[in-house]
Each structure stands twice: as C-alpha cells, then as structure tokens.
C-alpha cells in the first residue's frame, strides 16, 4: 500500500446504502478526505477532488469476511465431497509441503478474489501469516490475520507455533491495514497450555483471538470423552473465554454454551457454505445467539470447503437456510443479512466505530455496485438491500475502495496484475496438487 493519504474523492449522485443507525438508503454524494467519509448525502463540494459519476451505482459498505484461510486459493476443489476428517487428512498432507513463497502466491489470489467480490476486510487463520500480510498490504485490503497456534507436537510449522505467533505480532504491530492476532486452531489440536498461552500472548499485545469451535459432532463428542466437558464449557472452565474473541462455526452449541459465549462477549463467525459442504449436519444457532446478545458475522471459510470467497453467496445462503430450518420466513431478514456482512462483522473485530457503514468519520471502505446490472433490476431504493442479500451477482460489483484508496476499478484489480497473480497461483497449484497423494 502506498504511503500518505489518498487524494479527495467525491462519488456524485449515487444510491447510498449507508448502514447507519437508521439504515437509511438515500440518493446523494459522498465525499472522502484523507481516506475517511467527510460527507454522506446532499451535495458535496467538488473542490480538489476526483469526481466519479455515481448515478448508475449504489455505494455499499465493504463486506467483512469473519472467517477465511485466503492462502488456500490454489487448493480450491482439492478435497471435495468428503466430511471434515477426510478433508483435513488431505489438507494436512498438502500443508506439510507448503512454502512461504506459495502461501504468498495463494494469498494474493485469495485477496484478489475477495476484493473483486466487494470484501474489504477479512479475518484469517493460517500459518506463515507474514506472507498473507504482504499479499494483503500489496493488494490494499484490510486484513485481521491470525497466526495458527496448536500444540508443538501436532504442527508442521518449523518453530513452536506460539513463538511463531509472537514474532508475527511484533513484526506487524502498528501497520495501518494489517492487524496481527493469535489463532488457536481448535480443541482437537490445542491443549490447555496452548489455549492459555495464546490468550496470554493476545492480551499482552492487546489483540484479538480467533479459533474454530464445535464445527462437527465428532469434535464435540471426542472432546467430551477426553475431558468430560463440551468444548465451550471446557474453554470457560480453563479460563480462556473472554472479549475480543471470534469463534468460527459454532454449529454444535447447547443453550448453556450460548449463554457462556454471550456472557464472555465472544463473537461467532457463521460459515454456512462450509458447514453444508462438509456435511456438518447441523446449523449454527444464529437466531438464538443473536437473541442472547452474541455478535454474529459471516465467514466463507476456505475455498477448499466453500468453494468461494463470495460474501454475496454467504448472505443469500444464510438467509435461506435459517428461514427454511425454522419454518419462518421472517428470520434473518435481508437487512439483518446485510448487517451480518458489514456492521456486525466489524463489531466482531472490535472495529464497529471504524468500518462497516457509510458514515462521516469512518474509513472509506466501500464498493460501487452497478444498478444497471440484470441482477439488480428493478433498481429501486426500497429493494436495494433485498437485492444485495438475495440476488446481486459479483459481476455487478464494479469498483472497490479501501481507506479511500481504489483497489478495484471497473472490475480490474489495481494492486497487482491479475494475469501474474493467476499464473503464479496456477504454478503453485501444480506442485500442491501433486503432493496430495504423497
Ligand atoms: Zn476454518
């Protein structure tokens, strides 16, 4: 990302999907100075600004993907049609062969896919996160990047994971768009010491914790056999749960566990595509979690288990699933789905005052969505939120800004040459796909 503030920008006469407290949709200008919205609505001064004609576009807050493994882009389709155990078996084999260079190449492709899909912020869990951080910085996204932490005897990382995480935190502290954090992988590979070590490290560095929780019944059952407790109850008992944490999946929770997450202010990343594809068999209790006061965001998980990084797809699927499951079409309304993909995701990251809506003072992370695209017809203001939640195609997302800086213009990636990103990732895929049998 280039240094210094981006030049002033006005998007003129656009349809503004503000996501402000009143959830206003209005027609007017937005002005951006020093990377932040300085005016929303009305007629803005053009002085010193680049002016973009917005009358055929909606200005939509950048999506916040709250669970991803972006560097896995070259692994899309490598382990389809198997459940989590078989999936992880293949993935661990491939992971053991990965180099920092191919993690970076993969991350570039993944970040590019997200930006082209209107996602401006993402929460990631992987190892060699320095490579992911460099890719994120180069392409201009906002990355919340968790260094995967597991027991030293269970990892393919060259150093003890907690040491690796500590180094990563210190190398990227204070970066404007990369937030380094600590990511214990899950109860199946993390002992009590590992969980508490991760918590201590995050606390010391005043950063977030991100982890997988209760994704499958087997994981819950085996943990219960080992410890006599369900995962969330056990994490509470060892003194792990607390604010500033995002648990991914949370499919198999009891009412008691929902209460624990609410009391400890733990956020949940709901990943419906991944759960369905891996046949997790259940559905995260999103309605109950939200009713209990737990913040819930949407996550794509990786392209090996989704197989897309599209937040539009995730909104659509989440809405349909919960309605059908509960025989109640009124749950997770279009507006709530857009909230999960924007403001609520920002809240999970503790950044709801900074990103997630089009409001004066917030960072200018947004997309221009084509109102003349077939999937947005009729482009009526009262239907725009519905179209975003249920109908819009990724192809309608024309241009994307992060912190007032353009990262996609007319569907062209600006931070890198897509052809180079693509061919590098194809080359990495050649090696990685060959290693899955070995
Ligand atoms: Zn995951």
Ligand 1 being an ion, which residues bring their Cβ within 5 A of it? 301
Q: Does any domain span residue 90?
A: yes
pLDDT over 60 at 26, yes or no: yes
CA of 212 to the centre of ligand 1 (A): 6
pLDDT over 80 at 367, yes or no: yes
Domain around 127: 63-348
Asked if residues 112 and 70 have their Cβ atoms less than 8 Å apart, the reply is no
Domain containing residue 213: CATH number: 3.20.20.140
Beta bridge partners of 114: none
- Return all residues near 352 (Cβ < 8 A) that are at least 6 apart: 343, 346
Closest C-alpha to 40, from 55, 25, 56: 25
- Could you tell me the two tokens for 123? 């929460």
pLDDT over 80 at 19, yes or no: yes
CA of 297 to the centre of ligand 1 (A): 14
Q: Does any domain span residue 356?
A: no
pLDDT over 90 at 249, yes or no: yes
Closest C-alpha to 66, from 351, 299, 274, 267: 299
Q: CB 263: neighbour CB atoms within 10 A? A: 13
Q: Does any domain span residue 31?
A: no
CA of 46 to the centre of ligand 1 (A): 44
Look at residue 146 in the predicted model and tell me its pLDDT. Answer: 98
CA of 282 to the centre of ligand 1 (A): 16
Over residues 59-109, the pLDDT tens digits come to 999 999 999 999 999 999 999 998 888 888 888 888 888 999 999 999 999
Q: Quick one: which H or E segment has residue 178?
A: strand 178-184
CA of 246 to the centre of ligand 1 (A): 12
Look at residue 1 in the predicted model and tell me its pLDDT. Answer: 66
Rounded to an integer, the average pLDDT of 205-232 is 97
CA of 205 to the centre of ligand 1 (A): 23
Q: Does any domain span residue 435?
A: no
Look at residue 357 in the predicted model and tell me its pLDDT. Answer: 98
Total structural domains in the chain? 1
Q: Does any domain span residue 358?
A: no
Asked if residues 433 and 73 have their Cβ atoms less than 8 Å apart, the reply is no
CA of 126 to the centre of ligand 1 (A): 9
Over residues 128-153, the pLDDT tens digits come to 999 999 999 999 999 999 999 999 99
Does this model's pTM top 0.95? My answer is: yes
Q: Does any domain span residue 332?
A: yes
Q: Does any domain span residue 43?
A: no
CA of 266 to the centre of ligand 1 (A): 17
CA of 11 to the centre of ligand 1 (A): 36
Closest C-alpha to 107, from 254, 245, 302: 302
CA of 410 to the centre of ligand 1 (A): 31
Query: Is the CA virtual torsion 81, 83, 86, 90 positive or negative?
Result: positive
What mean pLDDT is reported for the chain? 96
d(CA 14, CA 96): 49
Q: Does any domain span residue 55?
A: no
CA of 158 to the centre of ligand 1 (A): 21
pLDDT over 80 at 381, yes or no: yes
CA of 215 to the centre of ligand 1 (A): 9
CA of 287 to the centre of ligand 1 (A): 21
CA of 271 to the centre of ligand 1 (A): 9
Answer with the residue of higher pLDDT: 435 or 342: 342
CA of 132 to the centre of ligand 1 (A): 15
């Amino acid at each position: 990302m280039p240094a210094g503030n981006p030049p002033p920008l006005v998007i003129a006469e656009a349809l503004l999907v503000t996501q402000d407290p009143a959830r206003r949709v209005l027609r007017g200008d937005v002005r951006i100075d020093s990377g932040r919205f300085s005016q929303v609505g009305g007629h803005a001064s053009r002085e010193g600004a680049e002016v973009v004609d917005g009358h055929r576009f909606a200005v939509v807050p950048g999506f916040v993907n709250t669970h991803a493994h972006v560097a896995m882009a070259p692994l899309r389709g490598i382990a389809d049609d198997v459940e989590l155990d078989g999936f992880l078996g293949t993935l661990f084999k491939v992971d053991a062969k990965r180099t920092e260079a191919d993690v970076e190449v993969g991350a570039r492709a993944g970040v590019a896919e997200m930006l082209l899909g209107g996602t401006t912020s993402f929460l990631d869990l992987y190892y060699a996160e320095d490579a992911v951080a460099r890719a994120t910085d180069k392409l201009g996204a906002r990355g919340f990047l968790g260094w995967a932490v597991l027991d030293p005897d269970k990892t393919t990382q060259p150093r003890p994971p907690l040491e690796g995480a500590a180094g990563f935190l210190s190398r990227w502290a204070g970066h404007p768009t990369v937030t380094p954090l600590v990511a214990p992988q899950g109860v199946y590979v993390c002992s009590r010491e590992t969980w508490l070590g991760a918590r201590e490290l995050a606390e010391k560095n005043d950063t977030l914790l991100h982890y997988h929780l209760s994704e499958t019944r087997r994981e819950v059952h085996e943990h219960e056999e080992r410890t006599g407790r369900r995962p969330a109850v056990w994490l509470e008992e060892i003194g792990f749960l607390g604010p500033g944490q995002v648990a991914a999946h949370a499919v198999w929770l009891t009412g008691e566990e929902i209460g624990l997450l609410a009391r400890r202010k733990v956020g949940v990343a709901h990943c419906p595509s991944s759960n369905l594809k891996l046949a997790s068999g259940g559905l995260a209790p999103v309605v109950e979690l939200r009713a209990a006061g737990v913040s819930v965001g949407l996550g794509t998980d990786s392209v090996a288990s989704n197989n897309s990084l599209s937040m539009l797809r995730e909104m659509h699927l989440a809405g349909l699933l919960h309605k059908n499951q509960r025989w109640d079409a009124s749950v997770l309304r279009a507006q709530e789905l857009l909230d999960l993909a924007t403001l609520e995701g920002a809240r999970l990251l503790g950044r709801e005052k900074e990103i997630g809506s089009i409001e004066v003072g917030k960072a200018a992370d947004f997309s221009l969505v084509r109102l003349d695209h077939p999937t947005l017809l009729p482009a009526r203001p009262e239907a725009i939120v519905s179209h975003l939640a249920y109908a819009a195609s990724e192809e309608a997302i024309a241009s994307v800004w992060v912190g007032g800086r353009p990262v996609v213009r007319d569907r062209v990636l600006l931070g890198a040459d897509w052809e180079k990103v693509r061919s590098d990732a194809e080359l990495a895929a050649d090696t990685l796909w060959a290693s899955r049998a070995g």
